[in-house]
Amino acid sequence: MQGSQKAPSDDINKLKKYLKLLKSIINFILPRKIINFLAFIYGYKFFKISYSQFGEDLIILKYLQYKKITKGIYLDIGAFHPRWISNTHLLHKLGFKGWCVDLDEEKLKYFKLARGNKVKTICASVSASKKKYLNFYKFKRKHQFSEIDTLSYEFANKIKKKWKINFEIKKIKNYYINDLFFKIGKINVLNIDVEGLDYKLIKHANFEIINPDIIIFEDARNYFASKAIINFFNKMKYILLFQSGPSKCFAKK
């Protein structure tokens, strides 16, 4: 009778356990700043032609070329990462300057590192509220680049239940949307991604202050722009340029 042989799956399971242990040791040994830096570098492995999540930046670029707008100005509210799923990195590469706003000071340091003096950063919330400070809900991730931190408790609670991730409540300086617009002035591209509150923010915005050629925002609830949203922008003489994933983009007629 032959001796029993080990199944290949046994070795694979052992390897997985060793890798999991190694990952735990690395996370324990490495300081948080190094983990954040590795997450920043990790974002650079993605995308060569488009840096957006759904190719939005390529269509934006085509529109700007059609309008003969070069080396303009962008405002990125909810900026996340300087390259990874970024609607503004391609603009930066082509010579645009801009403003990046985010809830997390640590993320914004990496924008300064990656974009240098071509970007100005603001660590604050941007909302439809005129309060000086607001609560925001920061998810407990191993690295700093969380794409789901939000001002919306309902959105945070939904993500918590769905992904089984806890969040902590923090206070942050707040800009009423139009006060921020007055601070920044005329721009060409406005990008908004504020996790669940995009449309509410837009409804309070006075776009005449910054006069953008393009407005792009995320509406994860509806993959197709509603008639109400289209009518809202049409009244301001903006037309629906494209929809890509949850992103809706409106441009000047």
Q: Identify the pLDDT of residue 27.
A: 64
Average pLDDT taken over every residue of the chain = 86
Which is more confident, 153 or 99?
99
CATH code where residue 50 lies:
3.40.50.150
164-199 pLDDT tens trace: 888 889 999 999 999 999 999 999 999 999 876 788
Whether residue 16 is contained in a domain is answered as no
Q: Is the pLDDT of residue 6 over 60?
A: no
Full domain range(s) for residue 150: 46-252
Report the pLDDT averaged over residues 31-45.
Answer: 69
Q: Report the pLDDT value the prediction gives residue 185, as an integer from 0 to 100.
A: 97
Q: How confident is the model over 124-130, as a mean pLDDT?
A: 94
Q: Per mean pLDDT, which range of 19-33, 53-67, 197-211 is the poorest? A: 19-33
Q: What is the reported pLDDT for 1?
A: 47
Structural domain includes residue 123 = yes
Domain count, the chain: 1
Q: Which of 105, 92, 84, 88 is nearest to 42 (CA)?
A: 84
Which of 11-20, 45-54, 232-241 bottoms out in mean pLDDT, i.e. has the lowest? 11-20
Q: What is the pLDDT of residues 103-120, one digit of tens each?
A: 989 889 999 999 999 999
Query: Which residue from 141, 249, 146 is spatially nearest to 202, judged by alpha carbons?
Result: 249
CA distances from 59 to 50, 70, 181, 249 (A): 10, 15, 25, 9
Q: Would you say residue 18 lies in a domain?
A: no
pLDDT in tens, 145-169: 677 788 888 888 888 888 888 888 9
What pLDDT is attached to residue 156?
84
Low-confidence winner among 33-47, 56-70, 128-142 (lowest mean pLDDT): 33-47
How many CB atoms sit inside 10 A of residue 50's CB? 18
Does the global pTM surpass 0.85? no
Q: Is residue 37 part of a domain?
A: no
CA angle (194, 107, 173) in 5-degree steps: 60
- Predicted local confidence at residue 184, as pLDDT: 97
